[in-house]
Amino acid sequence: QKEVEQDPGPLSVPEGAIVSLNCTYSNSAFQYFMWYRQYSRKGPELLMYTYSSGNKEDGRFTAQVDKSSKYISLFIRDSQPSDSATYLCAMHKGNTPLVFGKGTRLSVIA
């Protein structure tokens, strides 16, 4: 079993839809959870960062962490064509390297 599992998609939605992206993980020691966005042929950029359990909101983006279920989510409201990218979840347990999921490729169709 991989430490971090993420459905690679692809996921295609119409403009304005609510998008839900998810990852599961097996290591209960993970404490820091991130979502990175990666446009085609670019490096990943940090989108959201959450420590431990709970929700965090930033504009149209909401990150949720449920440590009891080992499950994290990223919600995108009012999705735009510019949101079309690969979304990578990543996590670590402090002073250790980030462990990434495979990434989910999202297309938002105008």
Q: Given the complex with other proteins, which of 88 and 108 has the nearer CB atom?
A: 88
Among 14, 68, 97, 110, binds other proteins (CB under 8 A): 97
Check residue 101 for interaction with other proteins (CB under 8 A): yes
Residue 44 binds to other proteins (criterion: CB under 8 A): yes
Residue span binding other proteins (CB under 8 A) among the ranges 12-20, 54-62, 64-72, 101-109: 101-109
Distance CA 37, CA 21 (A): 12
If one asks whether residue 49 binds other proteins (CB under 8 A), the answer comes out as yes
**Residue 89 vs residues 15, 16, 57: alpha-carbon distances, Å:** 23, 23, 16
Our finding on whether 6 is near other proteins (CB under 8 A) is: yes
Report d(CA 86, CA 40) in Å as an integer. 8
